[in-house]
């Protein structure tokens, strides 16, 4: 068997790779160094195999298209497992398998699975290099697409090996694309072994193991035992005209606006205000020496939703993907330019759709898959924060929870206190999107936008959130937002995107204690006139509708929350149920 130079003498790493080689039986093993030369070589190889398709290199320098198997275009929540010894430790919202049973079942799939293939060994770091808070992972995979994505999304290669040294403290991630058969697809997490085994998918969160698998599922488990939080949150900084910088973290479910919010350009009215991106998907939150909550983005790139991205909605994303980007499942024009629903300009007469089939304007089929994505380096982002590589991260003044809700939930609301904020996060609900397979547009509870990503019992996760209060003497204020409320006719009430700055401004003012608020039964909301609407072409009644709180709708909401809480039985923190009951009692 051909093996490239291992680049390390770490016996734990080499021993484990040997075991994986024995099981998977690849033809050759390549230890990835993360170099530019390696990227070029693997890209050429991927092109020669049709795994990557070069785009028009004048319009998209260094960029490529990948078409995944049409049965493999999103995360698969029903095939994702938390394998703890006790089922109760995974909790009622996670799929569970006993570790022994899972290892045995997956061993059957992995055995001989890389015959005729190359096994790539990817050492990577989640978090800034050298930071004591960062985590090291080794992913072995048979997918060159995974290697090229991991090179964008993480700090990968020699630097990771240097950081690991001779140590044993690394996540062991095994991935094989297999035959991409949904009946033989499993994404299994073994929190107590710091191990992930993923079989049968080559797509995003199923295959790039540093992202959802390590940074959120295993991360949340580590966070609970180590006293920190791993969250599905963007991190952004705002600089006001006086030069004061404030950082916020926001949890919105998949395809509910994190990347857009994190790259927002404030409207003209906010001349002198600047937004900086720290992260667009994941935040690791820890208590700093100063008693504040500090956030780090473990990632080094963006795996963002393509549809809806355009020069008006998100100009910074358009600039970010202007070079050295991998596009997955978008459409292409005959000139080799990318296209998706919601891109600027006229819809082209003819395209090649995401499956590689001819597509004509007016077709009822989507040309780009609704969950088509771009993988782009953070370094391309024109508004990248100068603190992305800061080992300490950034101090967080506000936490925002937001779902995609056509009804009920107002534009913005502030919690009364930490526990009430945790309650707002824990009861969050959102309409499902194309980011996971299954029906879209169905309202479901998605606590803290972590339903698919909690690596342990969500009731214990709620308790961990409640317990954080004692650890954070200067906690961020907690808010809830909803950009997605609609008219009866189904039109969005709030313009969203850059205009979300108007809501963010109120949140910042509240966080700094600069402005009052109106008390309602359910939380603090802006007083009349406190959301700056100048320069916005929107009827005051529309804003009233977006901010309205309807007692009837809230009663139904509070009653429905009980069903969600009840499934956790005795493990459910009483605090949250009591808050629910108190709100309900005040309503009647």
Active site residues: 256
Q: Measured between alpha carbons, how far is 460 from 478 in angstroms, rounded to an integer?
A: 20
**Beta strands, E only, 168-300:** 171-176, 186-190, 195-199, 229-231, 233-239, 245-251, 274-279, 283-287, 293-296
Applying CB under 6 A, does 75 fall inside the site for ligand SPV? yes
Q: How many CB atoms lie within 10 A of CB 363?
A: 13
* In the complex, minimum distance from the CB of residue 114 to ligand SPV, in angstroms, rounded to a whole number: 23
Side-chain-side CA neighbours of 475 within 13 Å: the count stands at: 20
Contact present, 278 and 238 (Cβ < 8 Å): no
Shortest Cβ distance from residue 118 to ligand GTP (Å)?
29
Give residues 454-483 in contact with ligand GTP (rule: CB under 6 A): 483
Candidate residues 261, 303, 494, 497; the one interacting with ligand SPV per rule CB under 6 A: 303
| Shortest Å distance, C-beta 121 to ligand GTP | 27
Question: In the range 212-251, which residues lie near ligand SPV by CB under 6 A?
Answer: 212
In the bound state, the residue with its beta carbon closest to Mn ion is: 281
Query: Taking CB within 5 to 8 Å according to partner kind, which of ligand GTP, ligand SPV, Mn ion, none is near residue 497?
Result: ligand GTP
Judged by CB under 6 A, which of 66, 211, 445, 505 binds ligand SPV? 211
CB of 435 to ligand SPV, least distance (A): 4
How far are the Cα atoms of 198, 385, 538 from residue 279, in angstroms, in the given order? 25, 9, 31
What distance, in Å, lies between the first and last C-alpha atoms of the chain?
Answer: 73
Q: What are phi and psi of 228, to 5 degrees?
A: -140, 180
Closest Cα to residue 223, out of 282, 150, 142, 274? Answer: 282
Query: Binding residue for ligand GTP (CB under 6 A) from 215, 254, 320, 324?
Result: 254
From ligand SPV, Mn ion, ligand GTP, none, interface partner of 75 (C-beta below 5 to 8 A by class): ligand SPV
Phi first, then psi: give them for residue 243, nearest 5 degrees.
95, 5
The least distance separating ligand SPV from the CB of residue 208, rounded to whole angstroms, comes to 6
Among 142, 231, 281, 460, binds ligand SPV (CB under 6 A): 281
CB count in 10 Å sphere of residue 416: 15
Q: Which two tokens stand for residue 156?
A: 């990968």
Among 86-94, 249-257, 475-483, 522-530, the segment contacting Mn ion (CB under 5 A): 249-257
CA atoms within 13 A on the CB side of 246: 19
**Choice between 477 and 502, CB closer to ligand GTP:** 502
When the beta carbons of 113 and 149 are compared against ligand GTP, the nearer one is 149
Full DSSP string of 111-177: TTTTTTSEEEEEEEEESSTT-TT-EEEEEEES-HHHHHHHHHHSEESHHHHHHHTT----EEEEEE-
Residue 212 contact among Mn ion, ligand GTP, ligand SPV, none, beta carbon within 5 to 8 Å by kind: ligand SPV
101, two tokens: 């049973």
Residue from 142, 280, 281, 353 touching Mn ion (CB under 5 A): that is 281
Could you tell which of ligand GTP, ligand SPV, Mn ion, none binds residue 29, using a CB distance below 5 to 8 A set by kind? Answer: none
> Residue 195: which of ligand SPV, Mn ion, ligand GTP, none does it interact with, CB under 5 to 8 A by kind?
none
Q: Residues 498 to 517: which contact ligand GTP by CB under 6 A?
A: 500
Mapped onto helix, strand or coil, the DSSP state of residue 495 is coil
Which residues of this chain interact with ligand SPV, rule CB under 6 A? 75, 204-205, 211-212, 254, 281, 303, 435
Which residues of this chain interact with ligand GTP, rule CB under 6 A? 252, 254-260, 280-281, 304-305, 307-308, 313, 435, 483-484, 492, 496-497, 500
């Amino acid at each position: 068997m051909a093996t490239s130079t291992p680049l390390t003498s770490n016996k734990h790493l080499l021993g484990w790779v040997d075991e994986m080689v024995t099981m998977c039986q690849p033809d050759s093993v390549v230890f990835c160094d993360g170099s530019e030369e390696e990227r070029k070589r693997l890209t050429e190889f991927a092109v020669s195999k049709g795994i990557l398709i070069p785009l028009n290199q004048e319009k998209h320098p260094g960029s490529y298209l990948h078409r995944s198997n049409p049965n493999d275009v999103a995360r698969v929540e029903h095939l994702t497992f938390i394998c703890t010894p006790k089922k109760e430790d995974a909790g009622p919202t996670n799929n569970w398998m006993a570790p022994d049973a899972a290892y045995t079942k997956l061993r059957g799939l992995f055995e001989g699975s890389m015959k005729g293939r190359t096994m790539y060994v990817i050492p990577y770091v989640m978090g800034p290099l050298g930071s004591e808070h960062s985590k090291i992972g080794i992913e072995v995979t048979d997918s060159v697409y995974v290697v090229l994505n991991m090179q964008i999304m993480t700090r990968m290669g020699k630097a990771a090996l240097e950081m690991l040294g001779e140590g044993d403290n690394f996540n062991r991630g095994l991935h094989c694309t297999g035959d991409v058969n949904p009946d033989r697809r499993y994404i299994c997490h073994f929190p107590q072994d710091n191990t992930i085994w993923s079989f049968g998918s080559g797509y995003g969160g199923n295959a790039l193991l540093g992202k959802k698998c390590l940074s959120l599922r295993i991360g949340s488990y580590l966070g609970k035992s180590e006293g920190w939080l791993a969250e599905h949150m963007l991190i952004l900084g705002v600089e006001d005209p006086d030069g004061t910088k404030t950082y916020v973290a926001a949890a919105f479910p998949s395809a509910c606006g994190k990347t857009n919010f994190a790259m927002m350009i404030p409207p003209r009215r906010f001349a002198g205000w600047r937004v900086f991106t720290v992260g667009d998907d994941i935040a690791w939150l820890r208590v700093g020496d100063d008693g504040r909550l500090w956030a780090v983005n473990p990632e080094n790139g963006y795996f963002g939703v393509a549809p809806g991205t355009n020069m008006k909605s998100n100009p910074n994303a358009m600039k970010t993907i202007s070079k050295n980007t991998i596009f997955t499942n978008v459409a292409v024009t005959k000139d080799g330019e990318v296209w998706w629903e919601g891109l600027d300009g006229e819809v082209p007469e003819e395209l090649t759709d995401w499956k590689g089939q001819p597509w004509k304007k007016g077709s009822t089929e989507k040309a780009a898959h609704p969950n088509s994505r771009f993988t782009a380096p953070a370094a391309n982002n024109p508004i990248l924060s100068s603190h992305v590589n800061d080992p300490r991260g950034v101090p967080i003044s506000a936490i925002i929870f937001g779902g995609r809700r056509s009804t009920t939930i107002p534009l913005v609301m502030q919690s009364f206190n930490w526990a009430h904020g945790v309650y707002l996060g824990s009861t969050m609900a959102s309409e499902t999107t194309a980011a996971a397979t299954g029906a879209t547009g169905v309202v479901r509870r998605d606590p803290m936008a972590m339903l698919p990503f909690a690596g342990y019992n969500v009731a214990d996760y709620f308790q961990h959130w409640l317990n954080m209060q004692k650890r954070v003497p200067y906690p961020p204020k907690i808010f809830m937002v909803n950009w997605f409320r609609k008219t009866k006719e189904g039109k969005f009430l709030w313009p969203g995107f850059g205009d979300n700055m108007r809501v963010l401004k109120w949140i910042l003012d509240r966080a700094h204690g600069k402005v009052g608020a109106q008390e309602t039964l359910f939380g603090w909301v802006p007083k009349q006139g406190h959301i700056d609407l100048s320069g916005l072409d929107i009827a005051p009644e529309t804003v009233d509708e977006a901010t309205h709180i309807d007692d009837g709708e809230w009663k139904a909401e509070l009653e429905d929350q009980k069903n969600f809480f009840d499934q956790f039985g005795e493990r459910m923190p009483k605090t949250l149920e009591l808050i629910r009951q108190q709100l309900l009692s005040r309503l009647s």
